[in-house]
Amino acid sequence: MTSTQTPTAADPAATATVVPSDDARTSEPPRPRVGAQNDSGRFLPENPTPVIECENVDIYYGDFRAVNDVSLVYGRNEITAMIGPSGCGKSTVLRSLNRMNDLVPGARVTGRIAYHGQDMYAAEVDPIEVRRRIGMVFQKPNPFPKSIYDNIAYGPRVTGMKVESMDDLVEEALRGAALWDEVKDKLKQSAYGLSGGQQQRLCIARTIAVRPEVILMDEPCSALDPIATARIEDLMEDLRKDYTIIIVTHNMQQAARVADRTAFFTAQAAEGTGDRTGQLVEFDLTTKIFSNPGDKRTEDYISGRFG
């Protein structure tokens, strides 16, 4: 089945929402008790319980095929890492998971990307609603030029969320992002006064304020020092209880530390054109990818022999 990425946030045709209701996330059957424990003793089912599924996904920028034939399941309440050498399409895949690529002129997705079984790129799906359910945290902390409070309140306000008490929601989001204690006495001050690590946690708080189910993170720690990075990694561990997290990281140790499952991508020169097209090499439990990968290319990459 082929979906073409046509409707955009501004497209008036893309108004109806057929993304499953919030109840869908609680009505799924319990996971079978078959699987493995990760390094921190957490039980993981053999197969992820799908929240987002890619089936034979190709992603183009104009005529250039950046990503070829990716099929991958992102599991509920799991952290999935996408790793691989520069240019292998990790960020391109990540941005396709909440239709962020709609905003890139010429970007196009074929194949199927489903959210709770629903084709995310179907004509009747509202991309704004997709992005509310599937939020994103970027590489560089990007708070708005507003107060800490207004950064958090912005999303609920513009999406028209029914909120009983905005103060409570702001507190809940800041607590959720492990930032409340540091900012509770300066909520009206500019977000630009925070450190880089605090700004990134603010961006995570801003993302969770609209109550998404999935959080996409594109190298969220690459601009941070090791202490701020450790705080974000601890936070991810906490967030996993309530959210599904998908992270792109260049840092293999980080993937090994935080991710339940890891997808390794590489870029291969296409026959004829020579264009380097990203492809998924291997997807498995993180412990397996880093201890006993099934593909030589993964082994070469994680052992530093290539990439």
**Residues found near ligand ATP in the complex (CB under 6 A):** 61, 66, 84, 86-92, 104, 250, 278
Nearer to ligand ATP among residue 65 and residue 201 (C-beta): 65
Q: How far is the CB of 296 from ligand ATP (least distance, A)?
A: 20
Nearer to ligand ATP among residue 90 and residue 206 (C-beta): 90
Q: How far is the CB of 15 from ligand ATP (least distance, A)?
A: 26
Nearer to ligand ATP among residue 89 and residue 156 (C-beta): 89
Nearer to ligand ATP among residue 102 and residue 213 (C-beta): 102
Q: How far is the CB of 174 from ligand ATP (least distance, A)?
A: 29
Give the separation between CA 223 and CA 239, rounded to whole angstroms: 21
Q: Tell me which residue has tokens 């990503």.
A: 67
Give the separation between CA 77 and CA 88, rounded to whole angstroms: 26
Q: What are 131's two structure tokens?
A: 């992005």
Nearer to ligand ATP among residue 35 and residue 87 (C-beta): 87
Q: How far is the CB of 84 from ligand ATP (least distance, A)?
A: 6
DSSP 31: P
What Rg, from alpha-carbon coordinates, does the chain have? 19
Please report, for residues 37, 94, 154, the alpha-carbon distance to residue 160 in angstroms, rounded to integers and kept in the order given.
Answer: 41, 26, 10
Q: How far is the CB of 252 from ligand ATP (least distance, A)?
A: 12
Q: Tell me which residue has tokens 């902390």.
A: 141
Give the separation between CA 279 and CA 268, rounded to whole angstroms: 7
